[in-house]
A and B are shown apart, each in its own frame.
Chain A
Amino acid sequence: MAMLKQTLAITALSLRSIPERWGPSIVIVVGLAGVVAVFTALLAMAEGFQTTLQATGRTDVALVLRGGSSAELNSGLGRESATLVKQAPGVRQGDDGQPLASAEMIVVAELMRPGEATGSNIMVRGVERSAFALRPQVRIVEGRPFQPGLRELIVGRGVAQQFTGVRVNETLRMRGSDWTIVGVFESGDANESELWADVEVAQTTFNRRGFSSVRLQLADPAGLQAVKDALDADPRLNVDVEAEQEYYSGQTRDFRKSIGMLAGVVTLIMALGATFAALNTMYAAVGTRAREIATLRAIGFGGTPVVISVMIESLVLALAGGLVGALLAYLLFNNMAVSTLGANFTQVVFQFKVTPTLVQRGLAIALVIGMIGGLLPALRATRQPVTTALRAA
């Protein structure tokens, strides 16, 4: 009980004296703000990418690609195969009595970012009318849908925001053909990184007969395996079947890995530097208060309360730094839209997401550094013989 009282007394003393030596104290705060800001911002990028792709695609929609393709761009299915796939058992019937399925074709176009001379690959997706039924989250927010049979495009909001030349009424030139942008659509997921057109028109224009993929609406949400088995058993087909959501989630692995590695290396090195800075600050703090600490010891305060109070000071400063860093990352980067190359060699537009979990992890790192930064100086403070400390000052 006495120890607790002592600890509280010394801690209050040291915390209240921080403003008098704010110079060194601010080093810890800024140092850790830097570490946490960089850590949070980098992982917010990975988080945003993952959120966008995981939100894309549903578990009750099956995506069918040619066997071994792994991405829609690599895949190709002939007209006959596409028709066979659509007639698989377990596919829900639409209002017209036809299977609720969409055969789609991918081509890639190059668009420019504002102020940049090199183009970026953007996915152009030729879709059937049922594509909209399979993706109820897609809705037109500006202009109108494309008209079947015409060379018209609707553009995803992400593409519209990041790239030039795709506003409504502008004309996009692809392989010697002119396409009019007639609308902008929103979906809140990776579909927004695409341009959509009527698949029949796209096929004739680009001189392609087949499709890239077929999406099937499952009659039973758990019926994926049955559809898979049926298609695998058909000797006329060589296809891979997976849940649409799984397909998109699978694409996040490489990006997460590389960003995670970058964040890991950068945070580790920065944390090391911040630890040295924190040690420096706390040694200085203990140094300037050597006489004060010795006096306290002389009048009967124990060693442990001194150690604890130094640790608490260090932790408080570290936590303050961590919070400043997380706040900075949030203010500067949260919801910032960027894009990177996805699995189909095309751009995926996504937003930074500073999540509570990331902030927590950042603060944990700050506290660990604060703890290390406080421990050694605290031990030194108590180890020094009282008489030496009193005389030295």
Chain B
Amino acid sequence: MTRTGFVLANLMRKKTRTILTLLSVVTAFLLFGLLQAVNVMFSAGADFVGATRLVTQARVSFTTSLPMRLLPEIESIPGIKAVMWQQWFGAVWQENTQLFFFATDPARLHTVYPEYVMPDEQWKAFEQTRTGMIVGRILADKYGWRIGDKVPISSNIFPQKDGSKAWTFDLVGIYDGKDADWQRNTNLGWINYAYFDEANQFGSGMAGTFTLSLADPGQAEQIAQTIDARFENSPDETKTQTEKDFNIGFLRQIGDIGLIVRWILFAVFFTLLLVVGNTIAQSVRERIPELAILKTLGFTDRSVLGFVLAEATAICAIGGLVGLAIATLIGIKIGGSGNFPIAIDHRVWITGVISIIGLSLAVGLPPALRAGRLSIVDALAGR
């Protein structure tokens, strides 16, 4: 019998116990995978946007619109390749579903966000259709919108000239993301600023926030300072930061999700430690005479230690990997639907595997050391 076979045979000796312990580990790592993915979405989730863009918002808050007259001044600052602006539309679909819609200049959007992938003729159609709008793939799939549809969207902020808040836009394009991260974030809609600005009741000239693409990302900080210095002490003071920091700041306002996740995982792993640790300790206790016989037969202390540790590791590793795998499948299902863009990706798996190793050592080492130190005479005598 090989050593691996021996370890497996020992595990299968009490099938119910092993299976129940495995299932506990599976559920713990399923939860670990899902929560860690939520955590990544809120903390590192903004990584994918890169550092090539800056966002200029009003210093008081991003909810305050910056006026359009800042545009030429920002454009004149050296190092800036292109500038676009985006005005929050306050879009509402049907009764009460809030959507992320912005009014922007189509050509500028195309230049500043090359990560949005859409056929050229659709970009052209967006530029040329005043009442046009484009939406991300997720949004289009979710509401079953097709190109050519006239989509009624109302705004909870902007009435049209006649006082009505019911707007209608022509869907002229559906964009995808250039990779999986961007694809998960294709949940925005864009409308044509020129039309929006002319048709809304509040008159024109408000740009919202500006998004700038840089020639050299290394200059981001210096350019941000230049912009903010230029508008200091004006009624429209600005705050400029990288797009990533802007996104992180926005998500962080929702709350310290990381803290909540850490608390839950702490509770889960503390419990798990006890459950698995207790099972392994118990199975070692029951087998003390056997372990002594192994030693009598000539197995060294270290190999007996190894057997016990291997059992613990097997339970943690099999349970952990299965749990993470289930989490990954669930993540693909949920993430694909676009309601909740989580993904159990390499980042989650790396922390998951580290946790599996840590857990194995924590639950396996104490009984393993005990088994290794066992004195043959005492153990056989039942002392």
Q: How far apart sit A323 and B267, CA to CA, in the bound complex (Å)?
A: 15
Assess the B270–A30 pair: CB atoms within 8 A: yes
Known A23-B282, A68-B154, A118-B248; contact A73-B23, beta-carbon cutoff 8 A: no
Which residues of chain A are near B234, meaning CB under 8 Å? Answer: 176
Whether A270 and B268, one on each chain, are in contact in the complex, defined by CB atoms closer than 8 angstroms, is: yes
Q: Are A273 and B264 in contact (CB under 8 A)?
A: no
Instruction: Kindly state whether residue B204 has any CB partner on chain A within 8 Å.
Output: no
When distances are taken between beta carbons in the complex, the residues of chain A under 8 Å from B64 are: 107-108, 175
Q: Cβ of B255 and Cβ of A34 under 8 Å apart?
A: no
- Contact assessment for A34 and B270 in the assembled complex, using a CB-CB cutoff below 8 Å: yes
A339 at the interface (CB under 8 A from B): yes
Q: Which of A69, A110, A280, A340 has the most CB of B within 10 A?
A: A280
Q: How far is the CB of B161 from chain A (nearest CB, A)?
A: 13
Please tell me if B110 contacts chain A, counting CB pairs below 8 Å. no
Residues of B within 8 A of A181 (CB): none
A19 to chain B, nearest CB (A): 16
Per-residue A-contact encoding for B154-169, CB less than 8 Å = 1, 0 else: 1111010001010000
Given the contacts A276-B27, A279-B20, A70 and B156 also touching, CB distance less than 8 Å? yes
Closest chain-B Cβ to A110's Cβ sits at a distance in Å of 5
Q: A276-B23, A341-B253 are in contact. Are A175 and B267 (CB under 8 A)?
A: no
A140 touches B (CB below 8 Å): no
Chain B residue nearest to A67 in the complex (CB):
B165
Minimum Cβ distance to chain B for residue A390 (Å) = 19
**Interface residues contributed by chain A, number (CB under 8 Å):** 52
A222-279 interface with B by 8 A CB criterion = 238, 265-266, 269-270, 272-274, 276-277, 279
The answer to whether B157 touches A347, judged by C-beta atoms less than 8 angstroms apart, is no
Is B72 close to A, CB under 8 A? no
Q: Is A31 an interface residue (CB 8 A)?
A: yes
Chain A residue nearest to B236 in the complex (CB): A175
**B90 touching A74 by the CB < 8 A rule?**
yes
A228 to B249, CA, bound (A): 40
Residue of B20, B63, B236 near A276 (CB, 8 A) is B20
Q: Pick the interface stretch among B190-198, B210-218, B272-280.
A: B272-280
22 contacts between A and B (CB under 8 A): A24-B278, A24-B282, A27-B278, A30-B271, A42-B260, A70-B96, A71-B156, A74-B156, A108-B63, A119-B61, A175-B235, A207-B235, A266-B31, A266-B35, A269-B30, A270-B27, A272-B27, A273-B24, A276-B20, A277-B24, A280-B275, A341-B255
